[in-house]
Amino acid sequence: MFFAWPVVALVLRGFVADGAVDLGGFADVLSRPRTWRLVGLTLAQAGLGTVFSVLLGLPLAYVLYRRSFPGRGLVRGLVTVPFVLPTVVVGVAFRTLFVDDGLLGFLQLEETLAAIVVALVFFNVSVVTRTVGGLWERLDPRAEQAAAALGAGPWRVLRTVTLPSLGPAIASAASVVFLFCATAFGVVLVLGGVRYGTVETEIWVRTTQFLDLRSAAVLSVLQLLVITGALVASARARARQEAALALVGDRAPAAPLSWRSPGDVAAVLAAALVVGGLILVPLAGLVLRSFRGPGGGWGLENYVALGTTGGRNALVVTVWEAAGNSLRTAALATALALVVGGLVALVVSRRPRAATARRAVTLLDGLFMLPLGVSAVTVGFGFFITLDQPLGLPVDLRTSGLLVPIAQAVVAVPLVVRTVLPVLRAVDPRLREVAGVLGSSPGRVLRTVDLPLAARSLGLATGFAFAVSLGEFGATSFLARPDAATLPVVIFRLIGRPGPENYGMALAASVVLAVLTATVMMLAERLRGDRAGGEL
Amino acid sequence: MRAPGAEDGLEVRDVVVRYRASRARDRAARDTVAVDGVSLHVAPGEIVALLGPSGCGKSSLLRAVAGLEPLAAGEVRFDGQDLAGVPVHRRRFGLMFQDGQLFPHRDVTRNVAYGLEASGTAGSERGARVAELLDAVGLAGYGSRAVTTLSGGERQRVALARALAPRPRLLLLDEPLSALDRGLRERLASELREVLTATGTTAVFVTHDHDEAFVVADRVAVMDRGRLLQVAPPEELWRAPASRRVAEFLGFQAFVPAAALPPGVLPDAGRPSRADLSPETVVAVGPAGLRLLPDIGEPLRAVEQGPLWQASVVGTAFRRGRAEVTVDVDLGSGPVRVVAVEEPALYDGVAADPAGRRRRPAVGEKVTIVLDPSGCALLPALR
């Protein structure tokens, strides 16, 4: 309800004007050259981001999942970090690199498409690496060995056997990455400046700056269409992947890296470039700059300033208060997402006997994946226009403070489902039957069989949900009241204000947020252990 | 307590189990009928094996009795009570699967104790019962082991102990030994019978292996394509299969019209005398119903009254210490390919080579085979 209703209301707002169906809004918005420029930009940056993420992610997947070397676990962990980093933090990190006096200022990339694409690749390389690597690791190596025995050289084996087997995983990863790039919000808003934007940022601008709800609604509908297409392509790729692969049950043993093999050397160089250049440099740059005070000296000034409301009272609350808000909201959102996501995963994991019920389960599965694709901004915007009188009740949810956690939970639910569902699906139904025959009522079966078996994945899902809620910016930026702002909102506001104090504070706050998120994810990753907990 | 009567034990009446076609497109092809009107009685303390090829519906029948599959028709009663509407967990039955299905998150003790916890048995009594059962299945001292560290045979023993712990009224076993290797399977089959009879457990046991069924069960129910073909104690089933289908499934390899055989060689199975045989009566030749005669020029006295056939060797194999020769032969009902067994006793006095080996017949060679009536059965008519 909290997802579907706002979105439907939003779509209706695009079609209906003054109680009558009116497509004038569409004609109006679609005839603006600015709209088409934005659509083009969105597609271009998403396309470029996807291509580079895949190209850079593949060697990394090979090195991290098919070869072993000392410190592999650490590098794998490092590669995961960008995925859960709040978009605002990443935006700030890259901006710090590219500003005139920044580490890479000489590249003149400030407020360019290239800067946006680099930041998008930073985020999504880990998605490609994890998705493809997870499959690569379990790919039966005997097919490659058979090809080699038939006289194929390493390059030919890669081209004729390995890549075609990985094809579905690559396609699936690429479609997800495309989705994330096309709906990127925080990064684009921070890095794009006034010149570059996407449909997503335009919705936000239309709503918050010009109060042009109608255009925003039309753009949201446009966005939905693009995303549905990408989701369908992704689902197709995933179905093919499940259907046609020879996988070994356990991961194949990884061979140690060999410096004699030219392929290995090339892959290591590429991987080192990605990890070092793309992931470490921006993070290190961010941390470094956060210790440089507004006066140019080094020290903790920026961190001390976190207890204030910023230069010229840029904020309503201090940054520490915002951090408290963030933690409280994220805790609430996580609880909501776990309850809803856990229940959905439980229902979807069952294989009912009746055909209609089976179809309903499949539909439910797809329905709860939608928020993964529908942009957070759309969710926030939808909430914004519908929840002034939810279901006709005279309760304005917008002022109740519950709205932000609910919106964040909507964004986090698909992650919970995707993490818990594969584990529940892997439980042999006969295990439940045995428990039933031994005298357990259905409730007791749930408590004594399903719950203990899914416990680890629930822990991991908690971490994911918490990290995502902490960093959530798109929906929160619509809904958070100034006196209850969260960390990402505060950071964004600080960059937007003039003054080196505020900029320094933004950097320090970004580091704080990144540390919070990374800590949560590290705790959660421990729960994952040796067994992959899910698809993400 | 009521006195034991005919109503006691498990009563399956005209049970039908149907699987719905999964997609609308298949609907036209009709639903699959897995169990097609089966009736079966299992007396208290009795062990009945459901024997049949894979896909014959035996597991579906077992699941229907457990309450895991809905009945399309018919009824399942226990001790006179209709079980329709009694949910799985209130039937007080036990169930054991082929691969054990132990709870991976519990150790051995807590697996065995699971059913006792569900019924609210007190802790001290529970511990005693678990120890008693682990002892009964030969796993005393294994209590604190993680189930992932157990071998296949040990897992099945734990699964058996877990199923028996709550003293089920009826134990259902779904191919409990099929995942084990041959030697272990044969050993566990006799152990299984010992444990079941020692605990006086009423049991229904599904298997596709007749040796296993004959070792474990008091009576064997042969099932094919959703129907019961014959229910009988093992010896009777072996001596007098009710139909050609049953005989084929038990491994009878050829069917010869009785009229084609000379008088006096027919198996004596308490069957009608020769005068009563209908022209359609058939002799089923069992897996050991044909003997290979040593090549010494003249028939031996011990079997000289049996009919002899000239057969052409297709291949030989050495199994369980004896040569088995596959031959093409016409037993009176057209050419068939059968296996004849070498009988060591027939070779007394036959010369062996200096190393003590006997020569094996080569492919294409002509050999003489003879019918051994004790390895054959009479079928009432060709079906």
Picking from A231, A256, A288, the residue at the C-terminal end of a domain is A288
Residue B3 lies in a domain: no
Neighbours of B302 (CB within 10 A): 13
User: How far, CA to CA in Å, does A462 sit from each of A250, A470, A515?
Assistant: 26, 12, 17
Q: Are residues A279 and A329 in the same domain?
A: no
* Candidate from B23, B89, B101 with C-beta closest to A441: B89
pLDDT at A413: 83
Same domain for A85 and A129? yes
Q: Which range marks the domain in which residue B301 is found?
A: 246-379
Query: What is the full DSSP assignment across A511-525?
Result: HHHHHHHHHHHHHHH
Q: Which of A423, A438, A456 to mutate to test the interface with B (most CBs of B within 10 A)?
A: A438
**CATH number for the domain that contains residue A386:** 1.10.3720.10
Residues B148, B81 share a domain: yes
Please list, in sequence order, all residues whose beta carbon lies within 8 angstroms of the beta carbon of residue A209, skipping any fewer than 6 positions away: none
Shared domain check, A208 and A61 = yes
Q: Which amino acid is at A371?
A: P
* Separation of alpha carbons B94 and A434, rounded Å: 8
| Same domain flag for B140 and B234 | yes
Rounded to a whole number, what is the distance in Å from the CA of B238 to chain A's nearest CA? 34
Would residue A428 count as lying in a domain? yes
Q: Average pLDDT in the B79-103 region?
A: 88
Do A162 and A69 fall within a single domain? yes
Each residue's pLDDT tens digit, A374-387: 667 777 777 776 65
* Set of chain B residues whose Cβ sits within 8 Å of the Cβ of A444: 89, 118
Whether B342 is in a domain gets the answer yes
User: Is residue B5 in a domain?
Assistant: no
Residues sharing a CB contact under 8 Å with residue A438, sequence separation 6 or more, in sequence order? B89, B94, B95, B114, B115, B118, B162, B163, B166
User: Would you say residue B2 lies in a domain?
Assistant: no
A223 and A371 share one domain: no
Mean pLDDT of B284-307: 67
| Nearest in space to A201 (alpha carbons), one of A213, A211, A218, A187 | A187
Q: What is the mean pLDDT of residues B267-273?
A: 50
Residue B4 lies in a domain: no
Q: Among A428, A430, A437, whose Cβ lies nearest the Cβ of B88?
A: A437
Which residue from B104, B105, B118 is facing A440, i.e. has the nearest CB? B118
Q: Looking at the partner chain, which of B20, B87, B166 has a beta carbon nearest the beta carbon of A355?
A: B20
Nearest CA-CA partner of B303 in B347, B357, B272: B347
Same-domain status, B90 and B130: yes
Residue of chain A nearest B115, judged by CA positions? A438
Question: Strand, coil or helix: what is B296?
Answer: coil
The residue in chain B having the minimum alpha-carbon distance to the alpha carbon of residue A434 is B95
Specify whether A384 is located in the same domain as A457. yes
Q: Are residues B145 and B225 in the same domain?
A: yes
Residues in chain A: 536
Over range B252-258, report the average pLDDT: 84
Give kind and range of the element (H or E) at residue B243.
none
Most confident of A213-217, A473-477, B216-220: B216-220
| A385 plus A528 within the same structural domain | yes
Mean residue pLDDT of chain A comes to 75
Instruction: Examine the domain organization and report whether B219 and B320 are in the same domain.
Output: no
Give the amino acid at B146.
A
Q: Quick check: A20 pLDDT over 70?
A: no
The domain that holds B73 is classified in CATH as 3.40.50.300
Tokens standing for residue A326: 């963030």
Q: Please check whether residue A24 lies inside any domain of the structure.
A: no
Closest CA to A103 of A292, A358, A275, A297: A292
**DSSP of B133-184, one letter per residue?**
HHHHTT-TT-TTSBGGGS-HHHHHHHHHHHHHTT--SEEEEESTTTTS-HHH
Mean pLDDT, range B48-57, rounded to an integer: 90
Does residue B19 fall inside a structural domain?
A: yes
Let me know: does A489 contact A296? Beta carbons within 8 Å.
no
A425 in any annotated domain: yes
What's the rounded Cα separation, in Å, for the pair B223 and A503? 81
ipTM, interface predicted TM-score of the complex? 0.75
Evaluate whether residue B306 is within a structural domain: yes
In this predicted structure, what is the pLDDT of residue B60?
92
Among the candidates A245, A268, A288, a domain finishes at A288
Nearest CB to A438; choose among B22, B97, B166: B166
Q: How many domains does chain B have?
A: 2
Q: Does one domain contain both B268 and B365?
A: yes
CA pair distance B185, B190, nearest whole angstrom: 9
Looking at the structure, tell me whether residues B122 and B158 fall in a common domain: yes
Answer whether residue A25 is part of any domain.
Answer: no
Chain B residues with CB within 8 Å of chain A CB: 20, 22-24, 66-68, 70, 87-95, 97, 101, 103-105, 114-115, 117-119, 162-163, 166, 172
Do A95 and A180 lie in one domain? The reply is yes
B57 and B141, same domain (yes or no): yes
Cα distance from B105 to chain A (closest Cα, Å)? 7
Over 60: is that where the pLDDT of A491 sits? Answer: yes
Q: Which of A224-238, A283-297, A442-456 has the highest mean pLDDT?
A: A442-456
Residue-range definition of the domain harbouring residue A80: 34-288
Partners of B114 on chain A (C-beta within 8 Å) are: 435, 438, 440, 448
Residue B203 has pLDDT above 80, yes or no: yes
* For residues A97-122, average pLDDT: 73
**DSSP 8-state class, residue B127:** H
CB nearest to A437's CB, from B93, B103, B117? B93
* pLDDT tier, B344 (very low <50, low <70, confident <90, very high otherwise): low
A340 and A448, same domain (yes or no): yes
Interface contacts (A, B; CB < 8 Å): 69
Residues of chain B with Cβ-Cβ distance to A437 below 8 Å are 66-68, 88-89, 91, 93-95, 172
A268 and A342 together in one domain:
no
Q: Chain B residues with CB inside 8 Å of A430's CB?
A: 97, 101
Residue A479 lies in a domain: yes
Same domain, yes or no, for B191 and B279? no
Q: What is the pLDDT of residue B374?
A: 79
User: Do residues B287 and B236 share a domain?
Assistant: no
Q: How far apart are CA A40 and CA B24, in angstroms?
A: 43
CA dihedral A168, A170, A175, A180 (to 10 degrees): 150
CB distance B88–A449 less than 8 Å?
A: no
Q: Which of B222, B241, B260 is the last residue of a domain?
A: B241
Q: What pLDDT, on the 0 to 100 scale, is given for residue B272?
A: 46
Given a cut of 70, whether residue A455 has pLDDT beyond it is yes
User: How far away is chain A from the Cα of B164, in angstroms, using its nearest Cα?
Assistant: 9
Domain boundary, last residue among A288, A308, A330:
A288
A160 and A307 both lie in a single domain:
no
- Write the pLDDT tens digit of every residue in A259-298: 667 777 777 787 777 777 777 777 887 777 777 766 666 6
Give the domain-ending residue among B212, B241, B270.
Answer: B241
Instruction: Tell me, yes or no, whether B237 and B258 share the same domain.
Output: no
In this structure, are B216 and B313 located in the same domain?
Answer: no
Q: Which two tokens stand for residue A53?
A: 């993420």
Query: Quick check: A464 and A524 in contact, CB under 8 A?
Result: yes
pLDDT of amino acid A535: 38
**Residue B227 reports pLDDT greater than 80:** yes
Q: Examine the domain organization and report whether A371 and A254 are in the same domain.
A: no
Q: Write out the two tokens for A333.
A: 């959102």
* Chain A residues with CB within 8 Å of chain B CB: 353-355, 358, 428, 430-431, 433-442, 444, 448-449, 452-453
Distance from CA of A441 to the nearest CA of B (A): 6
DSSP code per residue over A95-127: HHHHSTTSTTGGG--TTSHHHHHHHHHHHHHHH
Asked if residue A433 belongs to a domain, the reply is yes
**Quick check: is A28 in a domain?**
no
Q: Is residue A325 part of a domain?
A: yes
How many domains does chain A contain in total? 2
Asked if pLDDT for residue A393 goes beyond 60, the answer is no
Residue B164 in tokens: 């028996």
Q: Which of B241, B272, B302 is the last residue of a domain?
A: B241
Cα gap B223→A191, rounded to integer Å = 73
